[in-house]
């Protein structure tokens, strides 16, 4: 009985220790009006409430004797934080908030939990509108992953529906696609860094040879197909890398991260940054090198990035950025199916090399006209080159005769201007953005014979050895407008239109070989330069609309439908890839994408479940595997369900605990079909669509220690429109079998010191994700086997 009374008293005493509360009132300084609908939260927890119509809030179940940091936020007002020690049952803590006068970059109100790995874009951020659009924001600082190699499986593990090509174990290039769009160098996403282009050519050659080192990235922002209205006509949508800035609370900070790993991996990342007065600066240098999982896979990478932001006045801000990346990588070549299943680590050539030199400069101008209006101008230029050197399979003896060199030089400049205005319509807040874009792209492309050696000699044998020489140019002018109409307190509609003028031109020649009967009656082989001129000008008008219905502050039903357009690229126009012919009558792709879904965030659950429909007209792909040709195959559609969820288990056990235990998963079920009068393709599966794609795992830890385990399962997919089941002898066409892979990562941070380690491909599975038609193949490109990494971080 005594024991029972003791336990009862202990139970009630523990209840009373959490029976304290904090209440208060929020007032706007200028007008002395109460602030309704502001977020009031306890920092570093999942606890968040809203202020009522009288500006009042109450946070209950606080522990007596503890000190809490209470924060408040409402868009347009200055965020605030105050500390309070709980000493009585009911305590008062009031806030007086001011209207924001100067430019702010961004305030995250979706997630006050600093450990969240994925959030979503707000309805309005900067000079962009995202209301009603499907978006994901990956918080890189909170990831427990192999950042030294930009491990895509781990970084994008909470973004459903992505198909990832793992043909680069060092993470030098990113290969992601979704909804049946090719992952090849992420060419179907509009790829940007801090909002400006980083791809080879946004329209003519939209491949990304440069991927920012994720150790320098703050956020990765992904917006699906509806991004076409504000960012350009790509079916995939927007992929934007938001780089880190110097810490605002100190004039100088030095961070160094040194990583060693399997197969000779060494990664040295070093950065400085800070803020002094009205100047914020950040700079980094990264070196990455290694031998690679397969023989003949060595690589060396150098990356430099510098950024300076100057707050000229409270209204005017200027930013300067420069990026340089260069790398040299040997390529082990592709394998046939027989070779892969015999020894996936084998390499049968040491003659293939790839070299990239990438330089990007940008100037960002921001001016706040008033508290409700601002204008931003981004000017950028890309000066870059890429050279691919390897055996020429078109030769009679490809391993002994001269190699083929494909060399590109890119010279691109562009400018985007956006004007964003907040205004009131029928006493409800509305927003519109008006923008324009001017872009000039230039690609000097040459293909021809190089040396017959095995070294990295990126020189043509002699001028007459050129098989083709072209000067490709792109001119692009665009105008767009979008507007959020808040029809009720809960329902908004966001229509938009975009008008594009696209001019594609090319001038040069290519070597043409033909046979004729000579005077002596013998058949002669004749090769001569054939002049080549391309001109294609077109104007496109696309439109879309987004819908948003907020059931409450944490639950939203959203939907959108937007037209899309994809211009044929330089590779579509002219190529000397011996494995693929080009249809000279190829047309641009047109279509639309639509999403409808529900998303929400509570103290214990973060989720986004949606369905989509993507329609292509004149979809471009590979036809006739026996004699491959790249052409407009047919119309096609892709339909599917994409779902993401993360459960905070500790919420049900002890929400105040310093332990955390989250279960996460994303899954997609997708089907794509061709619609054609041609019986060969009608009803066939669209290539590069695994019907089932799952990533699930656990994220757990205590205080500054974190552990993440992830399981990935990807279903079988085809690589061509004919749905070739039996792989061809060269392994260029055929299915990619289903595979699974597991990853384990850990990290610990203590003040200025941190350590990270992990194992990728924990069970050492042998699998592949792509069959390459040309570089870095042709043939099967195996994914890396089991590998380890170990990182030390010091922050001063």
Mean pLDDT of 75-90: 80
User: Per-residue pLDDT averaged across 359-385, rounded?
Assistant: 96
Q: Which residue has tokens 């369905």?
A: 611
pLDDT at 510 over 90: no
Task: Select the more confidently predicted residue: 399 or 199.
Answer: 199
pLDDT tens per residue, range 642-683? 999 999 999 898 877 889 999 999 999 999 999 988 778 899
User: In the chain, what are the domains?
Assistant: 1-100 (2.60.40.1120), 238-795 (2.40.170.20)
Q: What are phi and psi of 9, to 5 degrees?
A: -65, -40
Q: Which among 204, 164, 167, 195 is positioned nearest to 181, based on CA atoms?
A: 164
Q: Which of 29-38, 228-237, 304-313, 452-461 bottoms out in mean pLDDT, i.e. has the lowest?
A: 29-38
Are residues 207 and 183 in contact, defined by beta-carbon separation less than 8 angstroms? no
Q: CA 544: distance to chain centroid? A: 22
- CA 777, CA 260: separation in Å to the nearest integer? 28
Q: How confident is the model at residue 575 (pLDDT cuts 50, 70, 90)?
A: low
Phi-psi region of 18 (alpha: psi -120 to 50; beta: other; left: phi over 0): alpha
Interval 513-541: pLDDT, tens: 655 666 666 665 556 678 888 888 999 99
Give mean pLDDT, residues 203-218: 92
578 pLDDT band, cuts 50/70/90, is low
* Token pair recorded at residue 666: 């994303």
Given this model, what pLDDT does residue 113 score?
45
pLDDT band at 1 (very low <50, low <70, confident <90, very high): very low
List of residues 6+ apart from 732 with CB closer than 8 A:
334, 579, 625, 628, 771, 772, 773, 777, 778, 779
Q: Does residue 45 sit in helix, strand or coil?
A: coil
Strand 466-486, strand 491-517: pairing: antiparallel
Q: Looking at residue 112, what is its pLDDT?
A: 41
The helix/strand/coil state of 452 is: coil
CB atoms within 10 A of CB 631: 22
Q: Is residue 459 over pLDDT 90? A: yes
- For position 105, what pLDDT does the model report? 35
Residue 254: closest CA among 240, 269, 273, 268: 273
Indicate the pLDDT class of residue 627, thresholds 50, 70 and 90. confident
Distance, CA of 66 to CA of 68 (rounded, Å): 6
Max Cα distance, the chain (Å)? 120
List the one residue out of 198, 189, 231 whose CA is nearest residue 217: 198
Q: Cα–Cα distance between 796 and 288 in angstroms, integer?
A: 22
Do the beta carbons of residue 571 and residue 586 sit within 8 Å? no
Q: What is the pLDDT of residue 420?
A: 95
Residue 177 has pLDDT above 60, yes or no: yes
pTM (2 d.p.)? 0.86
Lowest mean pLDDT among 42-46, 238-242, 352-356: 42-46
pLDDT of residue 515: 57
H or E element in which residue 389 lies: strand 373-390
**What average pLDDT score do residues 369-386 get?**
95
Q: How confident is the model at residue 81 (pLDDT cuts 50, 70, 90)?
A: confident
The mean per-residue pLDDT over the stretch 755-775 comes to: 94
Distance CA 742, CA 763 (A): 7
∠ CA 589-565-236 to the nearest 5 degrees?
A: 100
Q: How confident is the model at residue 5 (pLDDT cuts 50, 70, 90)?
A: very low
Instruction: Tell me the average pLDDT across 35-44.
Output: 82
Answer whether 726's CB lies under 8 Å from 735's CB: no
Lowest-confidence segment of 55-64, 260-269, 486-495, 779-788 by average pLDDT: 55-64
**Average pLDDT for the chain:** 88
What is the model's pLDDT at position 21? Answer: 84
Return the number of other C-beta atoms located less than 10 Å from residue 277's C-beta: 8
The share of the chain scoring above pLDDT 70, in percent, equals 91
What pLDDT shows up at residue 107?
39
- Please say if the pLDDT value at position 115 is more than 80: no
Beta-bridge partner residues of 178: 162
Taking residues 99-127, report their average pLDDT.
Answer: 62
pLDDT, average across residues 93-112 = 55
pLDDT given for residue 44 in this prediction: 64
pLDDT > 90? residue 692: yes
Q: What is the pairing mode between strands 238-243 and 190-193?
A: parallel
* Residue 528 pLDDT: 67
418: CB partners within 8 A, 6+ apart: 127, 128, 375, 376, 377, 433, 434, 435
In the prediction, which pLDDT does 12 show?
37
pLDDT for residue 518: 62
- The yes-or-no verdict on residue 10 having pLDDT over 80 is no
Does pLDDT of 375 surpass 90?
yes
Q: What's the token pair of residue 19?
A: 């029976």
């Amino acid at each position: 009985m005594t024991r029972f009374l003791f336990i009862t008293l202990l139970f009630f005493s523990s209840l009373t220790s959490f029976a304290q509360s904090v209440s208060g009132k929020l007032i706007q300084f200028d007008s002395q009006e109460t602030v309704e609908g502001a977020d009031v939260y306890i920092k570093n927890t999942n606890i968040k409430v809203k202020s009522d119509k009288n500006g009042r809030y109450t946070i209950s179940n606080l522990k007596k004797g503890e000190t809490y940091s209470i924060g408040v936020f409402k868009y347009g007002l200055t965020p605030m934080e105050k500390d309070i020690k709980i000493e009585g049952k009911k305590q008062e803590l009031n806030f007086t908030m001011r209207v924001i006068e100067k430019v702010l970059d961004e305030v995250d109100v979706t997630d006050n939990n600093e450990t969240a790995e994925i959030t979503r874009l707000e309805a309005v951020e900067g000079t962009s509108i995202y209301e009603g659009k499907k978006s994901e924001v990956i918080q890189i600082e909170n990831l427990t992953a192999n950042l030294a190699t930009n491990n895509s499986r781990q970084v994008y593990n909470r973004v459903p529906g992505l198909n990832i090509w793992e043909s680069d174990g060092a993470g030098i290039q990113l290969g992601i696609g979704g909804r049946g769009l090719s992952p090849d160098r992420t060419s179907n996403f509009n790829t940007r860094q801090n909002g400006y282009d980083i791809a080879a050519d946004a329209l003519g050659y939209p491949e990304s040879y440069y991927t920012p080192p994720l150790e320098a990235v703050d956020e990765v922002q992904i917006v699906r197909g509806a991004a076409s209205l504000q960012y350009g006509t790509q079916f995939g949508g927007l992929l934007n890398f938001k780089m880190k800035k110097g810490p605002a609370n100190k004039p100088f900070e030095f961070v160094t991260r040194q990583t060693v790993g399997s197969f000779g991996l060494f990664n040295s990342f070093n950065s400085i940054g800070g803020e002094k007065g009205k100047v914020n600066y950040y700079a980094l240098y990264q070196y990455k090198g290694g031998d690679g999982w397969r023989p003949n896979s060595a690589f060396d990478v150098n990356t430099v990035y510098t950024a300076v932001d100057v707050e000229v006045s409270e209204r005017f801000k200027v930013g300067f950025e420069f990026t340089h990346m260069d790398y040299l990588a040997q390529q082990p070549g592709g394998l046939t199916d027989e070779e892969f299943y015999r020894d996936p680590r084998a390499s049968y050539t040491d003659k293939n090399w790839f070299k990239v030199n990438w330089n990007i400069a940008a100037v960002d101008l921001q001016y706040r006209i008033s508290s409700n209006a601002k204008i931003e101008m981004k000017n950028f230029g890309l000066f870059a080159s890429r050279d691919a050197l390897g055996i020429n399979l078109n030769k009679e003896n490809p391993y002994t005769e001269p190699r083929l060199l494909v060399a590109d030089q890119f010279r691109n400049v562009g400018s985007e201007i956006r004007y964003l205005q907040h205004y009131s319509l029928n006493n409800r807040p509305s927003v519109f953005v008006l923008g324009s874009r001017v872009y000039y792209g230039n690609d000097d492309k040459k293909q021809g014979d190089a040396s017959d050696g095995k070294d990295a000699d990126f020189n043509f044998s002699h001028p007459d050895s050129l098989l083709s020489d072209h000067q490709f140019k792109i001119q692009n002018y665009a105008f767009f407008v979008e507007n959020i109409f808040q029809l009720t307190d809960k329902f908004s509609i966001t229509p938009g239109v975009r008008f594009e003028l696209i001019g594609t031109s090319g001038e040069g020649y290519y070597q043409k070989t033909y046979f004729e009967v000579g005077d002596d009656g013998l058949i002669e082989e004749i090769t001569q330069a054939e002049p080549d001129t391309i001109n294609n000008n077109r104007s496109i008008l696309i439109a879309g609309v987004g819908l948003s219905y907020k059931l409450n502050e944490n639950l939203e039903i959203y939907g959108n439908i937007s037209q899309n357009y994809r211009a044929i690229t330089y590779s579509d126009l002219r190529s000397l890839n011996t494995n693929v012919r080009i249809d000279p009558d190829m047309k641009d792709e047109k279509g639309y994408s639509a999403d409808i879904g529900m998303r929400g965030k509570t103290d214990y659950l973060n989720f986004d479940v949606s369905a989509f429909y993507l329609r292509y007209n004149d979809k471009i792909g590979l036809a006739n595997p026996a004699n491959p040709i790249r052409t407009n195959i047919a119309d096609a559609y892709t339909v599917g369900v994409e779902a993401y969820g993360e459960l905070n288990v500790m919420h049900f056990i002890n929400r105040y605990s310093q332990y955390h235990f989250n279960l996460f998963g994303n899954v997609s079920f997708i089907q794509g079909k061709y619609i054609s009068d041609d019986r060969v393709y009608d009803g066939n599966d669209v290539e590069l669509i695994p019907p089932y794609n799952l990533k699930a795992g656990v994220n757990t830890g205590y205080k500054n220690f974190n552990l993440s385990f992830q399981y990935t399962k990807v279903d079988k997919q085809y690589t061509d429109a004919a749905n070739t089941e039996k792989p061809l002898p060269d392994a260029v066409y055929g299915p990619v079998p289903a595979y699974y892979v597991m990853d384990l990562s850990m990290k610990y941070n203590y003040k200025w010191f941190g350590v990270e380690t992990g194992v990728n491909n924990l069970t050492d599975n042998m699998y592949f994700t792509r069959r390459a038609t040309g570089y870095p193949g042709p043939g099967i490109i195996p994914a890396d086997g089991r590998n380890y990494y170990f990182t030390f971080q010091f922050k001063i």
